[in-house]
Every structure is written in structure tokens, then in C-alpha cells.
Structure 1
């Protein structure tokens, strides 16, 4: 039974890691390639979750929910990029942080006005309601397996897009030397817009997939933004491969800590103390992992190369 429990928590950690990857991948592209700090990226994750949950409730189609969430979030990102982000490209990071933090407050209030302050729960797809028996004694939710499969497919596609296609070459060229790329005929402004919208789409997919697992609520983007930034630092800013590896590490460490630390602490501490101390120590372990990596690899595990 203990072995089954360990395998189950490992799969849960990988699923959480894929959610972090989808959010952190878009953020590292915007920050690492465009040198733009967008704190409102987590708010796009929230918008995707709310829109997907709304479409799913009204249409009873999970595919339509994901597509609707992505389309609505990309539209919001397009307006945000046209009205604000273009004016922040090339500005210092302090200006970018202050401006995008203001966007967080605006989007939180807009979501509260449209959906109300109460959290909403997106139903899981009806076709994925039954668990799948992976091993004898290990039934695992079908929906979580869908998350694992979707994360793998998106990770592979994103890596090929950035490193093996002409679009990826133009993105890297604009990030490496914008002036030279423009002299060679590259519309760097359009390339940066494409990168920003791609990051928003990835955040929306993460929000849509997260809805049936946890409640969609105001501020959910801010709560997951800090782990996503930790993932970017561990993996290496601008590196898709680094973000993927770091997401798996952080996801497994976080999930394993929350699953195994409280029972271990209850053996030596009162149950109430163990219940509070376990999650706190897990959070510390994630940051300790970041410190350990930076001590040996200051640029991250897989720093992006120009």
C-alpha cells in the first residue's frame, strides 16, 4: 500500500508540475526573450480558468471550454499588449512591475464584478469520470492522466516551436539583437506580440485544466505566480527545457512534502501542530531547492543561450 501511495503522489506531483510548466513557460518567454516582467501573467491564468468554467457549465463541452477560455484570454492579452505592454518594452523592470501590478488589481475587480466574489467549481468532463487502473490497487483519475498527456504534448510542441522552426528563429533573433534583426527585415514588434499572445494562451490552458481540480477563484493567479517565478529561476530564465525540468522538480517536492511530512511529524508532534508545520516546511523546501540550485548554477539548470 505504501508503494502505491508513493506512485500516486509522484503522479500528482507531475500533474502539478505540468500546470506550473504551462504557466511558467509563457512567463519565461515574455521575460527571458522580451526582457519584460509581466506580473499580470497570473491574472491571465485566472481569466482562462473563469472563462473555461463558464463555457463548460453552459455548453457541457470540455473541449469548447478549453477553446473558449484560450480565445477569451488571448483577446484580453491582445488588448493588454496593445494598450500597455508595447509602452513598457524597453522600460526598466520597476516600471513594468508597477504597471502590471496595477493590471492585477484591475482584473481582480473586473472578475469580481462579472462572476461575484464566491469561487466556482468547474465540473470534470463526463467522459473522464471513471478512474483508470494503472497497477493492481492503483486506480488513478482519468482527468489527471489527461493533464499529464496534455502537458507532455504541449511541452514537446513548445520546444520544437522555439528551437526548430522559423518562428522560433525570428524570436531568438529579436531577443538577441533587436536592431540587427530589424535591419534584416524582421518585424520584431509583431514577433514580440506573437510571443506575448502565446504566453497568454499557455496560461489560459493551465487555468482551464486546473478548474476541475481546484476551485476557480479571485486571486488564484497571484497564488501560483510565486511558484512559477521560482520555477523560472531554477530552470534558467528564457529556457523552455529548464522550465520543464524545474517544474517537475518543484511539483514533486511540493506534492511529496504535503503528502508525507504531516504523517511523519504526527509521530513526534501533536496532530494540530503537525498539520500546520507540514505545509510550512514544504514551502521552505521549495525555496531551499532554489537556493541549492543557484549555489551551484547561478544562471539556473539550463540557462538560455543567445
Structure 2
């Protein structure tokens, strides 16, 4: 097992982790501030991917495609919050789950009606295609490296937004005591719409970025949504820092486990059996990680309230 392979897989895990962070950050904001379980968050990821693929196909511009993904997902999120979600804040979590599950079906069938059942493809732009040489002579895809940088820059921007701006103060206050900030004159309805649109935009951007390395298809957001829920449970509900740490842990665990566990079992089993056993255990690793974290910290790594 070479050092180059290990470093490449660590970078792959970081890339996967920062994309999970973009999904989980919006999800944890919505759940932390609004107390809302939003199963339709993965559909907003899909909306961003399809918007990016459509705009890139029409204009040939990857930058415009990313802007379209942000705008389309944010607009879809704001409309959903105004039309549907706003009626669910006072309802119990079962009603929220049922309503947002219905939204998944609506988004899926609406996307299939607009774009058809066949997958779309979003090409990596020429200026980000090909490998880049890292220290030590490691060849790594430039686009994946750019995804890591973009994700970390957005994480830094979110930390600044939450910690240093007036909107961030209102978001943190709304998480702690929404009745009090409403009494102090903050329009809580507008704040909720803003938070929901921000979370939707982040999910849409993640879908667009990932859409360039895999096909864009109906239902692509649901598997990522499951991992995003694992991330916020590990990191702690309502914590952006927890979402980042949890996403990186999940990304690295999933990627390294999938690559190296089968190789480990080849030391004891036949290659076919080692691959089967290793792949099965690798798919369980992130849930084992979640269980281990919850045994030690039931509220997650950075969870601050029940």
C-alpha cells in the first residue's frame, strides 16, 4: 500500500466531506433555528444540479451554471417555506415528516416532467480539467481540489456570517429563544425564510458541484440526505462547526473504509470474500462512528441543547 494512494484517498475523503458539509450546514440551520425536520432538503440538492446542467448546456458557462444552481435552489426553498413549511412550525414532527416527504414526490415528478427520465451530464470546465501535481509528485484531479477549496471557503464564510454579522446574531438568537427576538422587533417570518433559502442555496450548490463528476438524475439527493442527517447527529444539531467536523469525519471514514477495508481482509480471506466482507463493513462504518459518538456525547460533538 503506497503513501501516494493513502494521500489520494484522504483528499477524496475531504472532497466528499466538504460536499456533505454544504448539505448538512443548511439542514442543521433549518433544524436548529426552526425545529423543522425537512426531508425535502435532498430535493433542493437535485434542483441545483438540474438547474446547473440546464444552464451549462444552454450557455456553455460553468460559472453561470453555478450561479443558476444557487438562484434556483434558493428560490425553490423560499417558495416551499412560504407555501408549505410556514404552516408546519406549530405542528409535531410527524406532520413535518409527512409533508416534506410529499414534497420529495412533488419535486421528483416535477423534475421528471421538465427534464425527462434520462440523466443529464454537466461537464467539468476546461480550465479545471486534468490533474495537478501536488508536493511529492502526487497527481490529483484539479476539479476535485477546487471543490475542496470552494467548500472550505464557504465554510469560512458561514462562520463569519453566523459569528460576525447582525443576521448571524439573529439566527443564533432565534435558535435559543425565538419568542424573545420576535418580541424585540425581529420579523421572525422573514428570518425563517432567509435561513431556509440559505440552506437551500448551499444544497443546490453542492448538487451542481457534484453533478460535474457524476450524472444528474432524479432522486440523486436522497442518498446524500441520509448522510447529511448522520453528519448533523455526529456534529450536533444547530452547530455549523459540528456540521463541518462531522462532515469531514463521515467523508474520510466512508472513503478510507471503502478503499482499505477490502485490502485488509485480503490478508485473511480469499480476494472475492475479502471484497464482499470489506465492502459490507465499509458501508456500516459511518453508522458505527455515529453510535460511538452518541455513546460518549449524546448531543453530538458540538450539540448544545436537547
With the length of structure 1 as denominator, give the TM-score of the two structures. 0.96
After superposing the two structures, state which structure 1 stretch, 131-140 or 192-201, moved more.
Answer: 131-140
Corresponding residue number in structure 1 for 2:129: 129
Residues 112-168 of structure 1: per-residue CA shift (max 9 Å, x gap): 112222222211011111211003431111101110110111001101111221101
Q: Answer whether contact 2:258 2:283 (CA < 8 A) is retained.
A: no
The alpha-carbon distance between structure 1 residues 110 and 270, as it changes in their structure 2 partners (threshold 3 A), is: farther
Question: Offset at 1:90?
Answer: 2.1
Question: Offset at 1:215?
Answer: 1.4
Corresponding residue number in structure 2 for 1:201: 201
Corresponding residue number in structure 1 for 2:227: 227
The alpha-carbon distance between structure 1 residues 120 and 269, as it changes in their structure 2 partners (threshold 3 A), is: farther
SS of the equivalent of 1:140 reads: strand
Task: Give aligned pairs, total.
Answer: 306
Equivalents in 2 of 1:178, 1:41: separation in Å? 23
Corresponding residue number in structure 2 for 1:68: 68
Question: Offset at 1:305?
Answer: 6.3
SS of the equivalent of 2:246 reads: helix
1:88 and 2:96 are equivalent in the alignment: no
Q: Answer whether contact 1:57 1:123 (CA < 8 A) is retained.
A: no
After superposing the two structures, state which structure 1 stretch, 233-242 or 213-222, moved more.
Answer: 213-222
Summarize the alignment of residues 1-306 of structure 1 with structure 2, pairs less than 5 Å apart. 2-304=2-304
After superposing the two structures, state which structure 1 stretch, 25-34 or 71-80, moved more.
Answer: 71-80
Q: Answer whether contact 2:52 2:65 (CA < 8 A) is retained.
A: yes
Question: Offset at 1:69?
Answer: 1.2
Equivalents in 2 of 1:189, 1:304: separation in Å? 24
SS of the equivalent of 2:109 reads: helix
SS of the equivalent of 1:91 reads: coil
Question: Offset at 1:38?
Answer: 0.5
After superposing the two structures, state which structure 1 stretch, 140-149 or 49-58, moved more.
Answer: 49-58
SS of the equivalent of 1:146 reads: helix
Question: Offset at 1:178?
Answer: 2.0
Q: Answer whether contact 2:78 2:194 (CA < 8 A) is retained.
A: no
Equivalents in 2 of 1:172, 1:287: separation in Å? 29
After superposing the two structures, state which structure 1 stretch, 41-50 or 262-271, moved more.
Answer: 262-271
Equivalents in 2 of 1:304, 1:53: separation in Å? 39
Aligned-pair Cα RMSD in Å? 1.5
**Gapped regions of structure 2 (runs ≥ 5):** none
Equivalents in 2 of 1:296, 1:113: separation in Å? 47
Residues 194-219 of structure 1: per-residue CA shift (max 9 Å, x gap): 00000000001100110111111111
Question: Offset at 1:31?
Answer: 0.4
Residues 223-258 of structure 1: per-residue CA shift (max 9 Å, x gap): 111111000000000000011011111100000011
SS of the equivalent of 1:89 reads: coil
After superposing the two structures, state which structure 1 stretch, 109-118 or 12-21, moved more.
Answer: 109-118
With the length of structure 2 as denominator, give the TM-score of the two structures. 0.96
